[in-house]
Structure 1
């Protein structure tokens, strides 16, 4: 065998043998989904607030079915499946927290800070639970349910409120229409939360 052909052939055989021994995870979906905020803070805008007037939006807690990058489909009261070939770029509760922060900062005059900055400016907090973030197969809708908990500076007051939004999928339960419907529903919830926090 000529030497100029031996190296590529050897590499190809080596890769083939390696692929039989090592698993690189499941099948990669054709694309990854994310959430885009309808509203975002204006670039270059500066805001000032005292420590007590800042707002920290925490990553919400979530049930086990949402602690994955896959999108759950509630078939009935007792069974859950997942949308085929649909996957978020990261955990949905983190995506939702980021979208919520962007929306609140854009639609209110609040100074919104990251969790990692809380110790330097321990003002008001928004915690909560992302209770639903998927598909209701019975109604063919995307559903987002967020149980918010507003904790006053110093933890002296706590107020809870539940937010819910549903958006029709408008077709088969597939990655792209489901992702688009969930983005609309998430933005609706985030806008309602911003209206509540702005009062």
Structure 2
């Protein structure tokens, strides 16, 4: 009797262990240690892209060099900031940038300057020390403003010219899209439109300056 009971108890433990193990495997398929992926991934795309086949050439020293904009930590990440009031921030639910917004803004600015000016344009990197004309600045705001229900993009641009880059001019540019629902899809579309409006203003400033 004792031997039979021990065998039954051992078989029960094996079956229980198999059930627990199966449950663990099932649970592992339902969770992600990296957190839930956002429903929407935002990317800035040019509303005025350079046409295919366009060719621009010239000395590298004559190129317009577009630099990475500076930004505080609320913008130097993939989450989209939501301003709750003058001193409080949150982050948009179910939406995130596919790449840091500062880098995307630089590429959008470079593409738009090319399209609207016809100038030779390069982006950052090793070109920073060779171009006589440099465009940079600080991205102050690119997110959702909850009190006004608007998306705001604000950029302090800096333009320097000459071999020594000592002749510097700064100007603030801003675009606001009102009446935006605090949801990922409309916020993403509004961010793209507002960013395009700002870079168009900057491109025309570079051309006229």
Alignment-derived partner of residue 125 in structure 2: 116
| Aligned partner of residue 24 in structure 1, secondary structure | coil
Matched, 1:168 2:178: yes
Matched, 1:134 2:143: yes
CA distance in 1, matches of 2:173, 2:24: 51
CA distance in 1, matches of 2:102, 2:50: 21
2:167 paired residue among 157, 169, 173: 157
- Counterpart contact for 2:107–2:123, Cα < 8 Å: no
Alignment-derived partner of residue 66 in structure 1: 75
RMSD: 2.4
Matched, 1:178 2:183: no
CA distance in 1, matches of 2:42, 2:166: 39
Moved over 3 A (4+): 12-15, 17-20
Question: Could you tell me the TM-score, scaled by structure 2's length?
Answer: 0.82
Structure 2 unaligned regions, length at least 5: 1-17
CA distance in 2, matches of 1:14, 1:155: 65
- Counterpart contact for 2:67–2:128, Cα < 8 Å: no
Question: Could you tell me the TM-score, scaled by structure 1's length?
Answer: 0.86
Matched, 1:31 2:40: yes
CA distance in 2, matches of 1:111, 1:72: 34
Say which one has the larger Rg: 2
